[in-house]
Structure 1
C-alpha cells in the first residue's frame, strides 16, 4: 500500500483528483459527480511525473514481461506512453479513436511490426470502452496486446466485465477504492461524504 499511497499523494498534490460534495463536477458525458480526475495535471510536476512513470514501468515489467512496444490511447494516454517508452528504450505508437480522414488515413500513428508484444497505456479507466477500442485496433493490425496499464480506475463492475469479455488484462496503479481507504486512514473526509462517493460509484455501475 505504501507505493499506492505515494501515487495517491502525488495525484492530490497536483490537484489531479478533486472532490466537491456541495457543487458536483460535470463530466464530458454530462454526469454530475463528486469526484473529478485529470491526470494530465501530473505532467506539470516533474517529481510526481517521474514517480508515476517509474510505477508504470515497474508494473509493466512485472505484469507484462516481453513487452516490445508501448501504445498510448489518444489523447490522454499519449504523453504517458511517450515517457514510459523513452525510459524503457522501447518504440511507441498511439491510436486514434478513428482513422484520419486526410493524409495517409492512419488510425495507428508510429512504426510497429506485426506480432510485436504491446502494452496499452491509459490514464483513467471508467467503463474501459475507449481503451478496449484501442486494443481491438491494435489486434486487427496484427499486434499481440499483452494488456492495458492505467494510472487509475474507478473499479466499476462494468469495466471488469468489459475487460473479461474482451479477454484483456487490466492493471491500474490505484483505484477509487484505494482512495477511499486512504481517506479513512488519514481522516480526510467524514463518513457521510465517503458514503456519498461510494453511492455514486454504485450509481455508475447501474
Structure 2
C-alpha cells in the first residue's frame, strides 16, 4: 500500500494530473446545455489508479479545513460523484475514520425498495454532497434535494473543480449550503 503524500504534495500532484489527463480542449456541449471551449473530464482522474487516492485525500482535507469534520457520509448524483464519494470513504478509512459513501439516483426507483439514495442509510446523518465538477450546480442541487427528502442533514456541497460559472452562488442561494472546491479553473490555466 502506498502511503499518503503530505497534503501540499498531494494537491500539487493532483493538479498536475488534472491538467495532464482531464482538460480536453475543443468545442463541447456541457450537461447544462452551455457550450465551452474546453471540457474537464474528471472521470479520467477519479477512476485513475494514482489520482483517485489523491482525490480522496485532498477532498477530505478540504471538508475538514472547512470545519465539517463531523460528517458521516459523502456522495452525490450518479455518475460523476460516485468515484469521488468512494475516494473520500477510502481516504477516511485510511485515517481510521468511519465515513460511508452513498449514490443518489437521478430519479427514485419504481421497483425494489423504491429508493433514490442508495447505500448505507442517510436519514438523520450529517452528509456532504459531492460532485466532480460543476457548471450550473444542477446536479449537486438534485442530490441535495434527494438527500433532504431521504432525511439527511446536508452540511455542504464539495467539488473537485469549480468552473467559476455560477454554481457556487446558485448552490449557496438556493440550497443555503456552503460550496467548497479544491481547485478553480484559474488553477488549471483556463482563464
Same-fold status (TM-score > 0.5): yes
Taking the aligned partners of 1:90 and 1:25, their CA distance within structure 2 comes to 36
* Structure 2 SS opposite 1:34: strand
Match of 1:192 in 2: none
- Does 2:11 correspond to 1:7? no
- Does 2:86 correspond to 1:82? yes
Change (3 A) 1:167 1:41: same
Matches within 5 A, 1:16-27: 16-20=22-26, 24-27=27-30
Structure 2, unmatched stretches of 5+, are 1-7, 93-97
- Does 2:149 correspond to 1:140? yes
TM-score normalized by structure 2? 0.82
- Does 2:75 correspond to 1:68? no
When you count helix as a share of all residues, which structure comes out higher?
Answer: 1
Structure 1 segments, 4+ long, off by >6 Å, are: none
Change (3 A) 1:140 1:160: same
Q: CA RMSD in A?
A: 2.1
Taking the aligned partners of 2:39 and 2:74, their CA distance within structure 1 comes to 27
CA contact (8 A) 1:123 1:150 kept: yes
Taking the aligned partners of 1:103 and 1:114, their CA distance within structure 2 comes to 19
Taking the aligned partners of 1:112 and 1:123, their CA distance within structure 2 comes to 23
| Per-residue Cα deviation, 1:157-182 (whole angstroms, up to 9, x for no partner) | 354134223201111111112223xx
* Structure 2 SS opposite 1:121: strand
Structure 1, unmatched stretches of 5+, are 181-196, 199-206
- Which structure has the larger Rg over C-alpha atoms? 1
Taking the aligned partners of 2:76 and 2:110, their CA distance within structure 1 comes to 20
Match of 1:188 in 2: none
Match of 2:170 in 1: 161
User: How many positions carry a matched residue from both structures?
Assistant: 177
Which of 112, 115, 122 is 1:106 aligned to?
115
